[in-house]
Amino acid sequence: MKRKLNPKRLALMVIVGGFIAATGCFLPLAHIPAQSANVCDGCPFLWRAWPRILLLVPMALGLALSIWAERRFNRGLSREIWPDAELGQARALLAKRLWLWANLALAALWLTACLLSTHRGFLWSSFYILILTSVAPARMRRLLDPPVAPGSGLGDLRPLGPLQSEYWGVA
């Protein structure tokens, strides 16, 4: 029997996938000993670089999980297949300040790694993945919030008339 994914579980999958992808950005900083030249003298580049390429797998899997779960979440919202009680659980999960602090910690770790690492090119390119994963909870929270009526914002900005003050008079 196929189990129906509820919005809370999908929201959690988006967040967890984003954090897996973000931690995958830091894995190339791990020390991998160089293979000796006499063991693999005529090997193609991919054969020599497979340990470093293998470290990119968590980043790819995390992004795939996050994107897949967010698409399912959007599809479920557009088709209105979940009751308000289930959506309320997802709202409560996404409203936690924990995600903000976790994203700030990841950003601080990323900045420290940029300053101390020799792999700066890769780290700067991973900045976009870090941003993508950090805004995922905010994107989903915005989808869950009810739309704002057009007239409830700043309203009509045309002047209503001359300003009057007891001290200054009519302006």
Angular region, 84: left φ>0, alpha ψ -120 to 50, beta rest = alpha
pLDDT recorded at residue 73: 92
State pLDDT tens for residues 75-130.
Answer: 998 888 888 888 999 989 888 888 888 888 888 887 887 777 766 666 666 777 77
Q: Which of 31, 40, 138 is nearest to 95 (CA)?
A: 138
Report the distance separating Cα 84 and Cα 7, nearest Å: 10
Tokens 């999958």 -> residue: 13
Top-confidence range, 26-35, 78-87, 113-122, 159-168: 78-87
Residue 68 has pLDDT above 90, yes or no: yes
Helix, strand, or coil (residue 164): strand
Instruction: Name the pLDDT band for 71 (thresholds 50, 70, 90).
Output: very high
Q: Give the mean pLDDT of the chain.
A: 77
Residue 72 has pLDDT above 90, yes or no: yes
